[in-house]
Structure 1
Amino acid sequence: MTLLKVEALTCEYRSNPLGIDIKRPRISWKIQSDRRGTMQKAYQIQVTAHDQNFTTIKWDSGIIESDESIHVDYGGPELEPRTRYFYRVKVWDNFDRETAWSEIAWWETGLLDTSEWKAEWITPDPEGIDPLSEPAFLLRKEFTLKPGITSARIYGTGVGLYELYLNGERIGDELLSPGWTSYHKRLQYQTYNVTEQMLAGSNAIGIMLADGWYKGNLVREDNRNIYGDRRAAFFQIHVNYNDGTEEIIVTDNTWKASTGPIIFSEIYHGETYDARLEKEGWSQSNYNDENWAGTIIQEMPITDLVAQENVPTRVTEVLKPIDAFVTPAGDTVIDMGQNMVGRLRFKVNAPRGTQIVLKHAEVLDKDGNIYFGNLKFAKQTVEYITKGEGLETYAPHFTFQGFRYVKVEGYPGQENGLPLENFVGEVIHSDMERTGEFECSDPLVNRLQQNIVWGQRGNFLDVPTDCPQRSERLGWTADAQVFIPTALFNYQGGPFFTKWLRDLKVDQLPDGNVPFVIPNVEGGMGSAAWGDAATIIPWTVYQTYGDKRVLAEQFDSMKAWVEYIRKQGKNEYLWNTGFHFGDWLALDAKENSFVGATARDFIATVFYAHSTRILRDAAEVLGKQDEVQEYSFLLDNIIEQFNHEFVSPSGRLVSPTQTAHVIALMFDMVEGKAKERTAYELNQLLIQNDYHLNTGFVGTPYISLALSKGGYHETAVKLLMKDDFPSWLYQVKKGATTVWEHWDSIKPDGSFWSDQMNSFNHYAYGSIGNWMYKAVAGIDMDPAIPAYKKIKIEPKFAGISFTQAKAAYESMYGRILLSWHLTNETVEIEVEIPANTTAEILLPKAQVADVMEGNKPLVSGDINSYMETTEGVRLTVGSGSYQFRYRNESGLRPSFTEDTRIIDFLDYKEAVDILEKFAPGITKPPAIFSTKARSLKELAELEEANLTVDKVKAIIAELKMLKLEVELVK
């Protein structure tokens, strides 16, 4: 019996989304097949409203001959608001097989249009409650329903943050709703299915409101009420009955208001909860609210309510503490074992009025005391006052902390040791689906990978923040754009970035300028590599997921950013004006400066070209041929002017830094001999620095990719494997469990970098993950065919010091797996390719005659498309699982490629002069410079030369450089 099956149906990236406002939602699916090389030849989609039996079809696509299986637009009649639509899919494959209908999936529309709103914005009557008071508000309403309830939904939102209660129960598990958007321009509302919680008869709804991002303290110590100074709620309940009638309950001035146990709650500062002030039963019917204040209708400056776009923020994991101890300073401290973002939940049984204080921090200082210095003015403090009625459980509601260590004060009996079983850490972030895995045989590299993932979890909390602990926690554009390739490997980030990009678009200035942070609460704008998030992020989302809609939505924003740059200065082809952060936090910065040594106009012009290239390519995808022509011309001129301004006639970059060479290579700013020289000199800069980087936010994300791209992959590997300062593994050996903001956040002597800016959870440098997945593990895609429709499998073993690696990625089409294992005798590579895709596989240094696939020689198996090259054996395969095995000719020694062969172009004397530097007294250079190219391994074994492999490499580098200089001058 053969297997062909449609599975994993999604609508707008999500499984069974509740309450969406997209009028033409897109459907995606995956195909499971037991045959290799399975491709979809046709599909059929059926959609029905309300009817899970599909007796009445709202839309039938018919049989569509196409291999398209992601982001297929719904093509039926206009959707109705507040309606559940069921859909199913079947496909036909290239073996003339037809699947059964898939399992039924659904999406449910929200209100779709602002005219559907009947609610009013309400806030407590200021005659009863000071609207500027710190305690969280409680709002409540009782209502009566008749029997025969068939469905009930709550639609609503609030400013700042809210929690929703119905008949005494918390509704939903989402936290920090409605999330953070550019509130005056876009505010998300949420949809809740409360059919099971509604009762025939008396019901009560309760809303808890706190400041959150809307009116809380942000950015600076005296900065509050950025969006407004009044909290407010906006909700409506739709109840449907079996007689076909509907009842709507809305927020209006009939609601009642009070304050409760949360007497203080802030994003930066934490929460104070006095359990003695709890109002038992406040969200239940028949509660006595006679002494509660009234509510008033509040006019709000909000122009656009949109259904929830991002995935919700939730508790995604619970951690148990690993230790509790007393520091040398006498503090009682809990160690969670992991720098995490979220909250501490605890249980306590104590007399009424007992005050328990939790103060959160990331690290201990070199003396073993808890360190709060890097928090700036953020307090990160939680206070709880007991009501004294038995066992009490508490976790804060409207705040989050970045921490590993928690100082505990006032817990009963803590002088005799804390009961660790009474404490847990709840990890909080946007609840994205995990899509990527990476592991290898080196434990330090594995810990680095874990740190990268934990850094993302800590900072992808509704917006991509720079750090989660100090008084900042903002959506910095540069951090997001440099990390997004790594981010989208680790997690499904389609909804996350779609929502954030929409805020970028509305916060972008009329002249195209892009603020430093999104949502824009910081001000400042126009910096290269920061504002370029406007182009880089939508393009990366498109490449990863094949999402043309996000390109179409953002195209005007992308174009506006490029046109903004174009208008700067006197030369439209250079960006040499304005403020720029430059290579932020680079180690080659001058004393007391945050900005690296790379010329800022150099960086700005490179990113100008990069954004222009992206804009041109996006125009090509969207069929905008006029823009393709215009921005192709602009790009050519930028590159020409760059080379005139920043590259000498002999091919030398005017900015002699690692970062300058990295970005010139990465973004194709130099070609031919100048490109060779740039790659060579980048490699030399690393060698001269003992394979240590000195790059910052601009150079670091690309340095390893640029080295591998430029032919110096082994140097990139050495860079990764360094474990002294500065390096990624230095942080790991210093005990890091997330990625740091500074290479020396903790210095070799145990002291700290400046308190002014020293986050221990800052994901930007975690962008090394992108190179680890693509180069070390070897999973990549053909950039011309997005979403891993055509997969590239190309592991690079050169210079690798570990013996095995494995990466897996859950693409839009299904799971991609690559696992390799090296022994002294064999190379073993396992590959899985999902149905409806193809892959090009490189077996490094293999020979066709040696390769076994499964239990068969490659030449006698069912893989027909293969060829032997100087790099190894290249194969083109369809979907399925493959196991390759072949001889490891070079064992675990580096494998030498053609571009590291001796080139015979110098005369005898020049050869002797260069060789004399490395092997004094050498008398037989002709053996090395024979017309027959010899590998480095062969040359190193020549007794008369007495050369090591490293010496031969150095000779080759010098010879190549001399030849390059001669040809460039010519």
Structure 2
Amino acid sequence: MTARPVALDAEAPRGTSFVATPTPRLSWRTETETPDWTQTAAEVELSSAGQTRTATVDSSDSVLVPWPFEALAPGQDAAVRVRVTGSDGVTSDWSEPLTVRAGFLPEGGWRAEPIGLTSPTRPAEPGLVRTEFDLPAPVRRATLFATATGAYQVAVNGTDVDDQVLKPGWTPYQYRLIHETTDVTALLAQGRNAVGIRFAGAWATELFGFRANARRVYAEQPSVALQLIVEHTDGTTTEIVTNGTDGTWRAGHGPITASGIYAGESHDARLDLPGWSAVGFDDGGWSPAHPAEPTLVPEPRTSPPVRRIEQLAVVEVITTPSGRTVLDFGQNLVGRLRLTVSGPAGHTITLRHAEVLEDGELGVRPLRAAAATDTLILAGVGEQVWEPEFSFHGFRYAEVDGWPGEFDPAAVVAVVIHSDMERTGWFTSSHDLVDRLHENVVWGQRGNFLYVPTDCPQRDERLGWTGDIQVFAPTASFLFDSRTFLSSWLTDLALEQRGADGVVPFIVPNVLGPARPAAAWGDAATVVPTVLLERFADRRTLEAQYSSMTAWTDLLLGLAGERHLWEGRFQFGDWLDPSAPPDRPAEAKAHPDLVATAHVFRSADLTARAAAELGREADAVAYREHAEQVQAAFLAEYVTPAGRMMSDAQTSYALALVFDIAPPDQHAALGARLADLVRENGYRIGTGFVGTPIIADALTRTGHLDVAARLLTQTECPSWLYPVTMGATTVWERWDSMLPDGSINPGQMTSFNHYALGAIADWLHRTVAGLAPAEPGYRTLDVRPRPLPGFTHARAEHRTPHGTAAVGWSREGETLTVTATVPPNTRARVVLPGTDEELTVGSGTHSWSVPAPAPARTPGPVDLDTSLAAVIDDEEAYATLLRVLGEDSPEAAEAVRTHTAWVPGRTLGERLEMAAGGATKDRLAEAYAQLSAARGH
């Protein structure tokens, strides 16, 4: 079958054909049923202004291929198509043409001035501005360039210009402002026309900071700027720009009376102004728009816009113990409510939002200072459809107060909003709770990828914490096409870092004051560009961020000094280790200096690798030497010759192993001690933000897959699956954000939608299913599935830059079947379970059968003289212990569960000497005797 190139892409933001650069990179995927197909060459054709040019790509490159033509001119339209020649010697037909439009202005071409309300009466006041103008000739093409310090929407002749939400999003406004580019040709005509802009403060006027430190960082009032370029059929051009000097733009107030990201939005429908953005509206009562503070010249958008992605219906209407009406949407989400309602004029409906219920009521304490409340005052003119426009909430539950008449749940839907990224990754297995965990990770990314990769979407925070995205970037890049989203955010990181003398702030954009260095947080500067190279083959972003990488690494090397150890300074450390007190989340088991020095090594190592990738050989040698110096210092300070960490914590061992700090001859000892620590802790998680993403890898690499499986499938608190058993539909910030009794964690910082601990999903994809990149952009796949004990199947599918790849395995009796789909123009290195041999296969669908891994050994007899280690390893014996203890004393059962070190040198009887009475021990001995007899002992 002839190959067919599809999915041609030129780096335009999703849903638009406008590109932000004169030389966009091109990518295409090829579909073919020819096995082992590779591209040997490609032709790219460009058609523009009646001329056609063709360029040849004499290689197999098909991902982010450099633009092979002269640079696009501002406003230029072009059609691009491609055809490929394969290793079979056959040349394909041409692909469908892709329209490419240069969505940027020439140098010095931005002439719009920011404008706002004339005399605002309070900070962050929403408003409207409008103008009318004449077009002297028929319209050939009209392009709108617009932005805001705040959030905005433009309507032309009464119609909104697009479906984007909260644009232009949040960037560090003092360094970078984004504009949208929109084709509005269809909305204009010769003669009289009108443009209106509605706007609010959003992030630009929000009060950032905690408690008494909250302040406005960017602006007191929102402002907007617009430039409309209309090209006529007679060759002339009309240009409309915002300005606050000639009175052509008028400003007034609309129905949005208050709006904030944290507070929510208030809408008085009695103030609706029908036709305000259309020709003929009487704006005589409005004032001339006021010139706002000058802003930066905005850049064209490169990242995905935010859109309304889906709607969820009410699952249940709850009447709380206090008599309030609460709607359950069955899913913790990010967005807002849309109401369809009618009622008397002046009647007020109030909506409050929260992620959980506590004692049957809306659980609002975790929101802290965020009111998360919307209000609608009805106009009394029939049925009204309304949703807030310039705010959003993180919620599963919404309390509705003041609904007129009998409430109909069909009258309310939850509108899910987030950055509009293509879904690219899926995972399924035979374990229902693990599958739900994975789905929770997906929803966590959806909720927190809203222009900025945030920590949480609900409380008075919603900030771009660098540590969270540093650990989650690999997972994010598998689940969604996150490349341009993260690349744009990295641009902001570099700008903030440059303004802080090389220090990467805790958050980007930074609104929390002077930047300070913190390990694992600032390392986003080196980790995230590396991930984009690994997952998307994005060398341009690596090149663009290289100075950021070196600046951060140089800073760390300076902090490490002559000892090559980062010691004695502020650190977040292994943040939210489950043993840390609720209000002291940095007090982890792993010593913060060890965590810090491990990250000095990691950033130096990644910077050396980036330098080599970019051909900067001298830098590569220098940073490799630095990394080796830090490695030697780390090993001398923290690792004994016998393979024991001086900070004897799960995270410490995981860092030494997964960051490749420890030499191979120590891996066995380090891995064995890590496995012992996990068992001693009852196979419950003992790591925080730093250790959690890597502990399963550390166990797997050192031959303890069974321990990693027990850790993954644990349902006791703390564990990945404990929140799932508690009904979670997103990943929690804390392992115990909700306590087993249904109460909310007493700490001041508690969120039920945080993706950081969901970084385990990357291990599910790469290791459990066995689908990983062996070369940048999955040019070569690493197919290496590791079937977990107790699982009968698992499968991962990922839409790589070259096409859809999939790896799965299933266990039937004594046979394990592995299947793999390898996209055209790629190959795969395959290591089957139970073997060390590496196979290499080309594109196509493959299947292998191998002997299934031997089942775990049959458990032996158990009694009170059985060691604690043997009891915890025997899941049935452990469950029997907790059952019998719990029947007599739930408190004793909980104490044994949470305060026992499950070690081999101590018997169960010894542990129960002070924890259980004689009658209880007798009953347990009898239960164990029955269990042993049933096992044939």
Q: Give the TM-score normalised by the residue count of structure 1.
A: 0.86
1:559-617 CA-to-partner distances (Å, cap 9, x unmatched) read: 00011111115426211142111111102336852121211110110000001110000
Match of 1:337 among 309, 330, 351: 330
Q: Distance in 2 between matches of 1:541 and 1:461?
A: 19
Helix, strand or coil at the partner of 1:759 = coil
Match of 1:455 among 444, 448, 454: 444
Partner of 2:234: 243
Partner of 1:89: 82
Contact 1:11–1:17, Cα closer than 8 Å, also in 2 = no
Q: Distance in 2 between matches of 1:737 and 1:144?
A: 53
1:429-440 matches, cutoff 5 A: 429-440=418-429
Contact 1:483–1:763, Cα closer than 8 Å, also in 2 = yes
Partner of 1:575: 566
Contact 2:326–2:399, Cα closer than 8 Å, also in 1 = yes
* 1:881 positional shift: 1.2
* 1:163 positional shift: 1.1
Match of 1:270 among 247, 258, 264: 264
* 1:337 positional shift: 0.4
Q: Distance in 1 between matches of 2:868 and 2:315?
A: 56
Return the letter of the residue paired with 1:41.
Answer: T
* 1:431 positional shift: 0.5
Contact 2:434–2:721, Cα closer than 8 Å, also in 1 = yes
1:526-571 CA-to-partner distances (Å, cap 9, x unmatched) read: 0000000000001101111001100110000000001111111542
What do you get for the CA RMSD once the two structures are aligned?
2.0
Return the letter of the residue paired with 2:253.
Answer: T
Partner of 1:781: 773
Contact 1:17–1:107, Cα closer than 8 Å, also in 2 = no
* 1:807 positional shift: 1.0
Match of 1:215 among 193, 201, 205: 205
Comparing 9-18 and 539-548, the one that deviates more: 9-18
Return the letter of the residue paired with 1:823.
Answer: E
Match of 1:760 among 748, 752, 766: 752
Q: Distance in 1 between matches of 2:582 and 2:370?
A: 28
Partner of 2:922: none
Q: Distance in 2 between matches of 1:522 and 1:917?
A: 48
Return the letter of the residue paired with 1:814.
Answer: G
Helix, strand or coil at the partner of 2:154 = strand
Contact 2:124–2:221, Cα closer than 8 Å, also in 1 = no
Query: Cα distance 1:750–1:826, how it changes in 2: closer, same or farther (>3 A)?
Result: same
Q: Distance in 2 between matches of 1:15 and 1:370?
A: 37
Contact 2:715–2:722, Cα closer than 8 Å, also in 1 = yes
Partner of 2:48: 49
Q: Distance in 2 between matches of 1:120 and 1:587?
A: 52
Contact 2:583–2:747, Cα closer than 8 Å, also in 1 = no
Partner of 2:434: 445
Partner of 1:230: 221
Helix, strand or coil at the partner of 1:815 = strand
Q: Distance in 1 between matches of 2:603 and 2:137?
A: 60
Helix, strand or coil at the partner of 1:560 = helix
Return the letter of the residue paired with 2:551.
Answer: A
Q: Figure out how many residues of one structure are paired with residues of the other and give that number.
A: 859
Comparing 561-570 and 214-223, the one that deviates more: 214-223
Match of 2:538 among 533, 547, 554: 547
Contact 1:16–1:107, Cα closer than 8 Å, also in 2 = no
Residue 667 of structure 1 pairs with residue 644 of structure 2: no
Partner of 2:350: 357
Return the letter of the residue paired with 1:666.
Answer: V
Partner of 2:480: 491
1:104-503 matches, cutoff 5 A: 104-126=97-119, 129-130=120-121, 132-220=122-210, 223-253=214-244, 254-300=248-294, 302-365=295-358, 367-414=359-406, 418-503=407-492
Residue 101 of structure 1 pairs with residue 94 of structure 2: yes
1:558-569 matches, cutoff 5 A: 558-568=549-559
1:783-821 CA-to-partner distances (Å, cap 9, x unmatched) read: xx2111010111111x43121112100000000011221
Partner of 1:641: 633
Return the letter of the residue paired with 1:451.
Answer: N
Q: Distance in 2 between matches of 1:564 and 1:887?
A: 52
Match of 2:843 among 879, 887, 894: 879
The percentage of aligned residue pairs carrying the same residue is 38
* 1:265 positional shift: 0.4
* 1:325 positional shift: 1.6
Helix, strand or coil at the partner of 1:61 = strand
Return the letter of the residue paired with 2:416.
Answer: V
Query: Cα distance 1:133–1:660, how it changes in 2: closer, same or farther (>3 A)?
Result: closer
Query: Cα distance 1:324–1:720, how it changes in 2: closer, same or farther (>3 A)?
Result: same
Contact 1:158–1:232, Cα closer than 8 Å, also in 2 = yes
Q: Distance in 1 between matches of 2:611 and 2:150?
A: 38
Residue 627 of structure 1 pairs with residue 622 of structure 2: no
Contact 2:125–2:221, Cα closer than 8 Å, also in 1 = no
Contact 2:23–2:66, Cα closer than 8 Å, also in 1 = yes
* 1:14 positional shift: 5.2
1:190-234 CA-to-partner distances (Å, cap 9, x unmatched) read: 011111111222111000110111112223356343112232211
Query: Cα distance 1:292–1:889, how it changes in 2: closer, same or farther (>3 A)?
Result: closer
Partner of 1:33: 32
* 1:246 positional shift: 1.4
Return the letter of the residue paired with 2:455.
Answer: D
Contact 2:103–2:300, Cα closer than 8 Å, also in 1 = yes
Match of 2:670 among 653, 670, 678: 678
Helix, strand or coil at the partner of 1:728 = coil
Comparing 495-504 and 520-529, the one that deviates more: 520-529
Comparing 517-526 and 490-499, the one that deviates more: 517-526
Q: Distance in 1 between matches of 2:869 and 2:675?
A: 19
Residue 791 of structure 1 pairs with residue 781 of structure 2: yes
1:417-451 CA-to-partner distances (Å, cap 9, x unmatched) read: x2011010010100000000011121111111110
Helix, strand or coil at the partner of 1:787 = helix
Contact 2:125–2:222, Cα closer than 8 Å, also in 1 = no
Return the letter of the residue paired with 2:17.
Answer: L
Q: Distance in 2 between matches of 1:469 and 1:265?
A: 15
1:12-66 CA-to-partner distances (Å, cap 9, x unmatched) read: 2756743333122100001111111000001111222244xxxx12x4223x320
1:67-99 CA-to-partner distances (Å, cap 9, x unmatched) read: 111111113223210122211111111110101
Residue 537 of structure 1 pairs with residue 535 of structure 2: no
Runs (5+) with no aligned partner, structure 1: 846-869, 896-914, 920-952, 956-970
* 1:108 positional shift: 1.1
* 1:747 positional shift: 1.3
* 1:364 positional shift: 1.0
Contact 1:111–1:117, Cα closer than 8 Å, also in 2 = no
Contact 1:569–1:577, Cα closer than 8 Å, also in 2 = no
Contact 2:124–2:205, Cα closer than 8 Å, also in 1 = no
Q: Distance in 2 between matches of 1:258 and 1:917?
A: 74
Q: Distance in 2 between matches of 1:676 and 1:800?
A: 21
Runs (5+) with no aligned partner, structure 2: 859-865, 871-902, 906-937
* 1:113 positional shift: 3.6
Residue 811 of structure 1 pairs with residue 775 of structure 2: no
Contact 2:14–2:304, Cα closer than 8 Å, also in 1 = no
Contact 1:269–1:379, Cα closer than 8 Å, also in 2 = yes
Return the letter of the residue paired with 1:137.
Answer: G
Helix, strand or coil at the partner of 1:876 = strand
Contact 2:12–2:302, Cα closer than 8 Å, also in 1 = no
Comparing 218-227 and 485-494, the one that deviates more: 218-227
* 1:886 positional shift: 4.4
1:935-950 matches, cutoff 5 A: none
Query: Cα distance 1:804–1:13, how it changes in 2: closer, same or farther (>3 A)?
Result: farther
Q: Give the TM-score normalised by the residue count of structure 2.
A: 0.89
Helix, strand or coil at the partner of 1:530 = coil
